[in-house]
Amino acid sequence: MFIDTAEIHVEAGDGGNGCIAFRREKFGPHGGPSGGDGGHGGSVWAVADPALTTLYHLRHQNTFRAARGAHGMGSNRHGRSGEDVTVPLPLGTLVKDAETNEPIADLLSAGQKVLLARGGNGGWGNQHFATPTRQAPRFAKPGLAGEERRLAIELKLLADVAIIGLPNAGKSTLISAISAAKPKIADYPFTTLVPNLGVVAGDDSRTLVVADIPGLIEGAHRGAGLGIRFLKHVERCRLLCHLVDASGEGDAEKEVAVLEGELTEFSPEVAARPRVLVASKLDAVSDPERPESIRRAAASRGIPFFAISAVTHEGLEPLVHHFFANMSRET
């Protein structure tokens, strides 16, 4: 199940209390204070795990508590510190404070580790409070409380190329043809209900990640169809691959404009990203004018145009080459 939002509760461990103790030795009946310090409480950390692709695991565990520190002991023995707790999250995850909306973490690289809740410091034992005029202090400091907070977790897929288009434009077939991804493919709209990721291999050992975004319809930014729930997953993509079904009928200008309008309403910044217009399903074209209208739409916008058939693999090699060339320019 694809889950891209969640809320969790994190609670760091309290620090252990300092100890009140005195040395009791055979030849030192009036020995000084010997209370040890309390251990520090464990902290809660977020760790970016590239093996995860959704937040589904947070449905089963949404509370994370670190251990408290042990109390100090006599003979100047310090308490053991509490163990830290880690929360594994997918790459591309945003973490915010659920109450203040303050951003806390943006996990962009594998193994990245960010502190979510800091453990409390251990209290000082009474040995720290001895002075020439106060040689037998009968007090110690308690441990400090660990941080506790509610966090809003949001996943935004990390991909180099986002495949976008109206429902049934051939997006899933394309990603399955150029990568090892196996999305659901059928001849009816809204086959893809969640984003799919695929890794595309280049000729020189390079790879890039492609995301298949569920189909958009007019009014998506207002919640129509699948709405904007998945539009956020194109925010991190560097190139938009806009598929238009070439097997349809009539001028494609309106269809191209509809998706452009939805992107602009969602985010002008995303709409301004580099884009390529692709006429898909060449193997099923019945109206020769249809692919030409897609070509004209690309020319009027000054963006690259490709014509492909993911079924027969016609035109896929130049398109994938363009993907890698675009990534090279960006980096």
Run means of pLDDT, 10 residues per run, the chain, 331 residues: 86 97 73 92 96 88 96 94 96 94 93 96 95 90 97 89 88 88 51 71 82 72 56 85 91 90 88 94 91 95 95 94 77 42
* Among 155, 186, 215, residue at a domain's last position: 155
Give 161-206 pLDDT, tens digit per residue.
999 988 888 888 999 999 876 655 444 444 445 678 888 888 777 8
In sequence order, what are the beta bridge partners of 251? none
- pTM metric for this prediction: 0.74
Name the region of 291 (left: φ>0; alpha: ψ -120 to 50; beta: rest): alpha
Q: Which residue in this structure is represented by tokens 């977020």?
A: 46
User: What CATH number corresponds to the domain at position 272?
Assistant: 3.40.50.300
In sequence order, the 6+-apart residues with CB closer than 8 A to the CB of 3 are 54, 55, 56, 58, 59, 155
In sequence order, what are the beta bridge partners of 25? 28
Please tell me whether residues 171 and 110 are part of one structural domain.
Answer: no
Predicted local confidence at residue 185, as pLDDT:
46
Predicted local confidence at residue 214, as pLDDT:
79
Q: What is the number of structural domains in the chain?
A: 2
Please tell me whether residues 77 and 200 are part of one structural domain.
Answer: no
- Structural domain of 68: 1-155
Distance CA 313, CA 323 (A): 16
Predicted local confidence at residue 125, as pLDDT:
96
Please tell me whether residues 144 and 39 are part of one structural domain.
Answer: yes
Please tell me whether residues 74 and 207 are part of one structural domain.
Answer: no
Instruction: Give the chain's end-to-end CA distance (angstroms, integer).
Output: 33
Distance CA 107, CA 284 (A): 42
Q: For residue 309, what are the CA distances in angstroms to 39, 296, 327?
A: 64, 19, 23
Predicted local confidence at residue 181, as pLDDT:
67
Distance CA 139, CA 227 (A): 62
Distance CA 249, CA 246 (A): 8
Please tell me whether residues 9 and 105 are part of one structural domain.
Answer: yes
Q: For residue 212, what are the CA distances in angstroms to 152, 200, 224, 246?
A: 25, 13, 19, 18
The H-or-E segment that residue 263 falls in is helix 253-266
* Among 123, 139, 155, residue at a domain's last position: 155
Q: Which of 108, 96, 197, 200 is nearest to 154 (CA)?
A: 96
* Among 155, 187, 222, residue at a domain's last position: 155
Please tell me whether residues 195 and 147 are part of one structural domain.
Answer: no
Please tell me whether residues 184 and 36 are part of one structural domain.
Answer: no
Predicted local confidence at residue 188, as pLDDT:
40
Please tell me whether residues 136 and 198 are part of one structural domain.
Answer: no
